[in-house]
Amino acid sequence: MARHLKRGMDAGAIKAADAQVRQTVEAILAEVEAKGDAAVRALSEKFDNWSPTSFKLSDGEVERAIGQVAKRDLDDIRFAQAQVRNFAQKQKETMLDLEVETLPGVILGHRHIPVGSIGCYVPGGRYPMVASAHMSIVTAKVAGVPRIIACAPPFKGGPHPAIVAAMHFGGADEIYVLGGVQAVAAMALGTGSIGAVDMIVGPGNAYVAEAKRQLYGRVGIDLLAGPTETLIIADDSVDAEICATDLLGQAEHGPTSPAVLVTDSEKLARATMAEVERLLKILPTADAAGKAWADMGEVIVCDSTEEMVAEADRIASEHVQVMTRDPDYFLARMTNYGSLFLGPRTNVAYGDKVIGTNHTLPTKKAARYTGGLWVGKFLKTCTYQKVMTDKASAQIGEVCSRLCILEGFSGHAEQANVRVRRYGGRNVPYAAAAE
């Protein structure tokens, strides 16, 4: 039976924190909806001390920001975007339009239609998340979205040059220096200066995720992503240093980021816990990573490989890193995860920044029912139907008529009956089932 050597924060404390976030976000959304640009400006001043003449960057401001980025950094951004673009294009190629004759004279089909407009949120609080621009903007561009706007918070009193470069290279049509719930609200609800979009995408902190949750339905969302989660599955084929490094590498996202080790080796488990403490003494981001490990870190020892699979699926983590003798065993059997990182040669940071898969992934057990952001999220699969012959219309109509009367829908039945009479030559009584 799986046993914990270390547990995270009590579920009750997490629930209380979530309630506070929910109330704060609700108030901000109501304010933006009621007051538009004035509310956005006031909130930006309050939370970010940022109130420029225009939150939207002009072409000249975009060029000046890009000019502040070192050539090697620009080259690296372009390289990362090329990987994301290539994988998204390959994914799109698997999504084929369909048209099929299911019965003689009956044609059914579907088309993949891009969403009309999206708003991409790029986090930039503790860390400027340059890579998030690739994941949302580049992928939406591959999908064919006609209008893409992007928001990121100010960084040290202005636009973050590398984020602006990534947004511009990715293909954003409008770039705004605006952060937090007010940015998400402005894009989703629209203001005098920002046109509303059809869908909001991108990761963020607990407040941004809650804003997306509350806005869902009025606009589409990709998924509820954040705070970052990581799960490492390891056996004694790897050592404590690599396990501890990879746990802390994701824990540094922030103090509420779960980092979990699942192993069948108690020796490795205890060595990893000791190694975490050693690394926290030298890690520059130990303030965030240490808090996350103290409050949200878990270490679980299992009796078998099968039990490790069961525990991992129960946890349903955003990132699952598998460092075992046979990582493909987990690929074949696991069902609940955002993304898998197989073998010690790969790691979550590769997926976060450069390898090409999307880093906007499900958290808080959402991996039980959804995958992460991908090109298909920006495409609506819409069906259509054509009945080509009188015989086919009458044949379908007779069955439809009877099924509608079975359910008590007389008006529906008449939609079928009028066609049975007209195209089938049958004298069906009004609002009765075709016999």
CB 176 within 8 A of CB 148: no
Does residue 323 contact residue 37 with C-beta atoms inside 8 Å?
no
Which of 223, 256, 164 is closest to 362 using CA atoms?
223
Q: In the annotation, is 4 catalytic?
A: no
Rounded CA gap, 187 and 119, in Å? 6
At 172, which amino acid appears? A
Q: CB count, 10 Å around CB of 11?
A: 8
d(CA 183, CA 47): 12
Catalytic residue among 112, 318, 359, 398: 318
Give the Cα separation of 121 and 149 in Å (integer).
Answer: 9
Distance of CA 324 to the CA centre of its chain: 28
- Residue 359 annotated among the catalytic residues of the structure: no
- The rounded distance, in Å, linking the Cα atoms of 368 and 344 is 25
- Judged by DSSP in three states, 190 sits in coil
**From 168, 319, 359, 398, active-site residue:** 319
266-280 vs 286-296: helix crossing angle, rounded to 10? 150
Q: How far is CA 98 from CA 50, 95, 107, 382, in A?
A: 49, 9, 10, 10
Counted residue by residue, the chain has a size of 435
Residue 372 DSSP SS3: coil
**Residues identified as active-site:** 318-319
